[in-house]
Structures are given as C-alpha cells and as structure tokens.
C-alpha cells in the first residue's frame, strides 16, 4: 500500500477533522499519528507503526532515548468515529501550527499532515533543481 495525493479538510470547533475517505480504508480501524522533526505530523497504519517502533527499539539505548521520548511520547492512537473524524491532540496541533485548515499529503508509507498555510508556502518555495539532482543521483 502506498498513500498518494493530497486533500484539504477543516478542523471544527471541537478539534475534529475528517480523515480523507481515500485514505480511510487503507488506514484501518486504528492508526497512529505523531510529530516528526519538520513542521508536520505523520500518520501510520498500525502495521507500519509497529515496524517503525521496532526499528527505533533496535537503536542503542543512548541514541534511542530522546527519539523515543520525542516521537513515541507524543504519538496518539486514533480510532475514527462513525463519520471518519478524529480529534488531534493539542500538543500535536501546536507542533504543526495547525489552527483550522489541514492538508493531508500521501507520502508512501505515511500520510503527512500540514497546516494549510505552511503547506502552501512549502509548495511555493520548492527547490526543483535540488529535487531533480537528488532523483538523478538515485536513478529516479
């Protein structure tokens, strides 16, 4: 499975947001959302989350400690309601700068969750030459 495409949804007054219907079936009944080092959040299926956590757990404890605290400590297990909505934790919303509109971006094994204004700025400032060079370097 590979998540692709991007979809924009608004968070309501109760901080609920619809998970895009194109993603819901592949995410399953339970999935995980957490912060990353960029100004976005990441959503993983339960299966991919378990694989990710397993990789982190194989790091030497001295290296893993801060990563576990930062990424795993902020993670939220999600079960959408009957309408396909979730409530995102305030700490995660603050990390991504999300206040109202959210862009869900398919990124292969994960879905990245951006504040719409941050995503739009990112789209406007892409370094196409750098991306092109990287793709050539890796034979893409």
Of the candidates 55, 99, 45, 109, the one whose C-alpha atom is nearest the C-alpha of residue 77 is 45
Residue 1 has pLDDT above 80, yes or no: no
- Kindly state the average pLDDT of the residues 3-11: 96
**pLDDT 10s digits, 44-87:** 999 999 999 999 999 998 888 999 999 999 999 999 999 999 99
pLDDT at 63: 85
Q: What is the DSSP letter of 70?
A: I
Other CB atoms within a 10 A radius of the CB of residue 44 amount to: 21
Mean residue pLDDT of the chain comes to 94
- Kindly state the average pLDDT of the residues 128-137: 91
Structural domains in the chain, sorted by start: 6-137 (3.40.1550.20)
Residue 90 has pLDDT above 90, yes or no: yes
pLDDT at 131: 87
Residues 21 and 112: beta-carbon distance below 8 Å: no
Of the candidates 6, 4, 17, the one whose C-alpha atom is nearest the C-alpha of residue 123 is 6
pLDDT at 86: 97
- Kindly state the average pLDDT of the residues 88-97: 96
Strand arrangement of the beta sheet that strand 6-10 belongs to = 6-10, 101-107, 110-115, 41-45, 31-35, 76-78
Rg (CA), the chain: 16
Cβ-proximal residues to 8 (8 Å cutoff; 6+ apart), any chain: 101, 102, 103, 104, 116
**pLDDT 10s digits, 106-116:** 999 999 999 99
């Amino acid at each position: 499975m590979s998540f692709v495409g991007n979809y924009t949804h608004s968070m309501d007054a109760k901080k609920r947001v619809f998970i895009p219907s194109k993603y819901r079936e592949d995410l399953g009944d339970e999935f995980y959302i957490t912060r990353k080092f960029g100004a976005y959040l990441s959503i993983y299926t339960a299966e991919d989350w378990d694989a990710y956590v397993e990789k982190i757990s194989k790091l030497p404890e001295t290296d893993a400690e801060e990563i576990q605290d930062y990424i795993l400590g902020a993670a939220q297990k999600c079960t959408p309601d009957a309408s396909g909505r979730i409530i995102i934790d305030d700490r995660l919303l603050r990390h991504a700068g999300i206040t109202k509109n959210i862009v869900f971006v398919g990124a292969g094994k994960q879905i990245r969750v951006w504040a719409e204004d941050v995503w739009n700025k990112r789209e406007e400032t892409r370094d196409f030459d750098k991306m092109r060079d990287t793709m050539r370097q890796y034979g893409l």
